[in-house]
Structure 1
Amino acid sequence: MALQISCLQFFYTTLFGAYSAFIFLRTGHFASIFVVHAFCNHMGFPNFEEVINYKGVKKIIIIILFFVGAISWSYLLYPLTEPSWYYNDSPWNLTSS
Structure 2
Amino acid sequence: MTQPPLRLRNAARDGWLILEWADGAVSRIDHARLRAACPCAQCRAQRLRGRIVAAEQGVRLRDIRLQGYGVQLLFDDGHERGIYPWSYLRDEL
TM-score over 0.5 for the alignment? no
TM bracket (short chain)? under 0.3
TM-score if structure 1 supplies the norm length? 0.24
Q: Larger Rg: 1 or 2?
A: 1
TM-score if structure 2 supplies the norm length? 0.25
Bigger share in helix? 1
Bigger share in strand? 2
